């Protein structure tokens, strides 16, 4: 795990020393991603510089130093991540006559490129990776991202300089970089709470999409070329066209074998290794398979909260005791959790508003005290239908879809006639007789959220409403035009035969890579910890899409097949309980301990001067939330995260950040097709 960066000077006026200095400045701000080593490579004739920060995991000797050149001399790479099947690839290459100096997967990667070429070699990699490869013969730069989007990679032209890096903050080291905030993307952020690929908060800068290779010529007049070598949509389509037709027992055995191998590959490391353990289905399954293949107790880590509604540590402890892991837990106070908040803008690099980023950072920091690599259980919900919202959306659509639209609008008005506070009182009396999945922690918000979705005309628009924070974000950002995404533009929805499949596929195309994996990457990298995600091995993903929904959902409960595997190792009583998530009580904190902090960021004069938001809309939500008349933390948190990020930008970079923020200032930014 590392950080990569670099540039192309299209004018080719810089010397090797100047290129090296520029590339090393970029790498230096990525120190947290790779504290063990720093390196650079330049070619002044081509105007190219690559730089690298190393977190040593495999072959910790100098033979793993990057950037690294292939033995044939054609390719130079800066590589962030892991190629888990590098040993098998190395053996194949040795049979073809290749020889190796060290034991790193980077050297194997480069030999693969030399043997098969970029587009043919990359599909052979089983791993998580972001790779920058300079082809010295063709004078082309290839930016490559792993299939599921576990590792980040940003790029774009700044004048006649092309910049690329693992994190956006590296671009701020370039004197010519204009940090112009894209108002359209800001509207997108307020809907999602994250910024989906290929967009970024800076105008003209893009993210490499998962499963793609972006090829750049050293000329700003030539558009980058995008090659898709794998996509989850194609995997889903292929799986549905050739579905698994065996028995339950055969499906369970097949998935168990795949998961065992995926876990085993990710246990390869020359440094201490452990796992995050929440005590839920996904993380417990990963730890169980780790322990089953380890001669020594696996190191496991969990964070606990003293507030019962947010605490799963005692469940994790019980699972760890049963499996015999070497378990470490840490209970944190609300004050300790809130102390993380000022660090979030620097940690997440661009606005990010999933509040589970706080405990994710805390558990990463805990694990880093003992290990350098930690396996995670992320991906199980999207693969095996684990989110309650899938069932909520399906149930709601069955209900409201049968009601004529002419009747829905009056019903919506009736639901909003009572305040959230009144609805809370009503639900407290009804809670004991409601189905468990309809017992949200914030009862009073449910009728108002239901009112927002009564006017939808399809499952597509219903799900968009369910997962959106601000339903009309362009009303909040004057002059903005919301860019299309797979979630907001129904025309981009991939085909799927089953409702549950469609919803899972949408999440795997958006929420998983752009929220969940961003959260894990930034939180773990902030403490120089490598996080690995076995459930996102592409073989597991492809197998999951071959399975019928009936092997994922039974008796109204998701993750059926994953539960069957886990039951081989852990008694169901230890893990079967309502899903809690990994959150913190942001709603209450904003009214109490965080009130002064939020007051300052949402100050009326400040909002008006900065000009990003409709001041009255923001202030109305904040007044209602403070007074308890409404519970609007899911509306307010993304605004606060943006405000905190923007404040840091201005303080960290004295020249300031170009906001293009005057009310009514619009315009659609030019975007690359990646």
Residue ranges for the known binding site are 105, 303, 376-377
Give me 590's structure tokens: 């904003």
Mutual orientation of helices 538-546 and 232-241 as an angle, nearest 10°? 40
Question: For 495, which DSSP code?
Answer: P
Contact 320, 300 (CB under 8 A): yes
Q: Is 385 a catalytic site residue?
A: no
User: Quick check: helix, strand or coil at residue 51?
Assistant: strand
SS (H, E, C) 72-97: CCCEEEEEEEEECCHHHHHHHHHHCC
Asked whether 289 and 263 are in contact (CB, 8 A), the reply is yes
What Å distances lie between residue 373 and 201, 237, 263, 268, CA to CA? 30, 34, 13, 10
- The CA-atom distances, in angstroms, between 609 and each of 1, 162, 605, 606, 666 are 41, 33, 6, 5, 17
The alpha carbon torsion through 225, 108, 211, 231 (nearest 10 deg) reads: 120
Per the annotation, binding residues for L-glutamine are 105
Please state, in angstroms and rounded to a whole number, the distance separating the CA atoms of residues 569 and 291.
10
Which tokens in the block code for residue 44?
């002044």
CA angle 90, 94, 100 (to 5 degrees): 70
What is the spatial distance between Cα 198 and Cα 271, in angstroms, rounded to a whole number? 34
Annotated binding site for ATP: 303, 376-377
Closest CA to 464 of 498, 490, 483: 490
Taking alpha carbons only, the member of 150, 151, 531 closest to residue 367 is 531
Catalytic residue among 2, 72, 112, 665: 2
Across the chain, which distance is largest between two alpha carbons, in Å? 76
Compute the distance between CA of residue 212 and CA of residue 325 in angstroms, rounded to an integer: 38
Q: Retrieve residue 88's tokens.
A: 């098998």
Active site residues: 2
């Amino acid at each position: 795990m590392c950080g990569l960066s670099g540039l192309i000077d299209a004018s080719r006026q810089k010397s090797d020393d100047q290129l090296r200095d520029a590339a090393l400045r970029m790498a230096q701000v990525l120190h947290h991603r790779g504290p063990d080593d720093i390196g650079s490579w330049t070619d002044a004739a081509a105007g190219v510089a690559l730089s690298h920060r190393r977190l040593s995991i495999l072959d910790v000797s100098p033979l793993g130093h990057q950037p690294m050149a292939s033995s044939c001399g054609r390719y130079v790479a800066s590589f962030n991540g892991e190629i888990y099947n590098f040993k098998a690839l190395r053996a194949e290459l040795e049979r073809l006559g290749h020889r190796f100096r060290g034991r790193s997967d980077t050297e194997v990667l480069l030999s693969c490129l030399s043997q098969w070429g970029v587009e043919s070699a990359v599909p052979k990699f089983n791993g998580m990776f972001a790779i920058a490869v300079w082809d010295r013969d063709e004078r082309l730069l290839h930016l490559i991202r792993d299939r599921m989007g576990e590792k980040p990679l940003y790029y774009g032209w700044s004048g006649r300089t092309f910049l690329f890096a693992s994190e956006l903050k590296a671009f701020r080291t370039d004197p010519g970089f204009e940090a112009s905030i894209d108002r359209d993307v800001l509207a997108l952020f307020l809907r999602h709470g994250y910024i989906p690929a290929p967009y970024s908060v800076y105008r003209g800068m893009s993210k490499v999409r998962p499963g793609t290779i972006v090829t750049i010529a050293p000329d700003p007049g030539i558009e980058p070329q995008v090659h898709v070598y794998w996509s989850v949509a194609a995997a889903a389509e292929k799986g549905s066209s050739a579905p698994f037709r065996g028995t339950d027992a055969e499906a369970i055995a097949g998935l168990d074998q795949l998961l065992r191998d995926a876990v085993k590959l990710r246990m390869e490391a020359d440094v201490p290794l452990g796992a995050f353990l929440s005590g839920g289905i996904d993380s417990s399954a990963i730890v169980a398979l780790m322990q089953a293949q380890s001669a020594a107790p696996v190191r496991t880590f969990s964070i606990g909260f003293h507030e019962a509604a947010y605490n799963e540590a005692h469940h994790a402890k019980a699972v760890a005791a049963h499996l015999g892991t070497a378990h470490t837990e840490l209970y944190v106070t609300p004050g300790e959790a809130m102390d993380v908040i000022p660090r979030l803008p620097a940690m997440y690099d661009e606005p990010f508003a999933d509040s589970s980023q706080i405990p994710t950072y805390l558990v990463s920091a805990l694990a880093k005290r003992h290990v350098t690599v930690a396996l995670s259980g992320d991906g199980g919900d999207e693969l095996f239908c684990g989110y309650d919202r899938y069932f909520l959306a399906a149930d709601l659509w069955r209900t409201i879809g049968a009601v004529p639209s002419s009747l829905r609008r009056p019903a919506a008005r009736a639901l909003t006639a009572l305040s959230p506070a009144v609805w809370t009182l009503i639900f407290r009396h009804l809670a004991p007789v409601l189905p468990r999945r309809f017992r949200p922690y914030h009862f009073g918000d449910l009728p108002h959220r239901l009112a927002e979705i009564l006017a939808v005309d399809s499952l597509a628009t219903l799900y968009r409403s369910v997962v959106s924070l601000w339903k009309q974000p362009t009303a909040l950002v004057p002059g903005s035009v919301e860019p299309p995404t797979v979630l907001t533009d129904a025309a981009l929805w991939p085909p799927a035969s089953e409702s549950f499949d469609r919803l899972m596929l949408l999440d795997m195309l958006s929420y998983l890579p752009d929220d969940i994996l961003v959260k894990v990457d930034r939180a773990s990298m902030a403490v120089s910890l490598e996080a690995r995600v076995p459930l996102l091995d592409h073989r597991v993903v492809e197998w999951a899409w071959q399975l019928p929904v009936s092997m994922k959902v039974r008796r109204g409960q998701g993750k059926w097949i994953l539960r069957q595997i886990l039951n081989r190792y852990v008694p169901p009583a230890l893990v079967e309980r309502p899903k809690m998530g990994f959150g913190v009580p942001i709603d209450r904190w904003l009214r109490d301990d965080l009130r002064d902090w939020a007051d300052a960021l949402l100050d009326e004069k400040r909002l008006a001067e900065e000009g990003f938001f409709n001041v009255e809309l923001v202030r109305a939500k904040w007044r209602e939330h403070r007074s308890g008349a409404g519970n609007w933390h899911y509306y307010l948190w993304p605004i606060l995260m943006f405000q905190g990020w923007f404040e840091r930008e201005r303080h960290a970079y004295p020249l300031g950040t170009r906001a293009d923020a005057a009310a009514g200032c619009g315009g659609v930014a030019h975007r690359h097709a990646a």
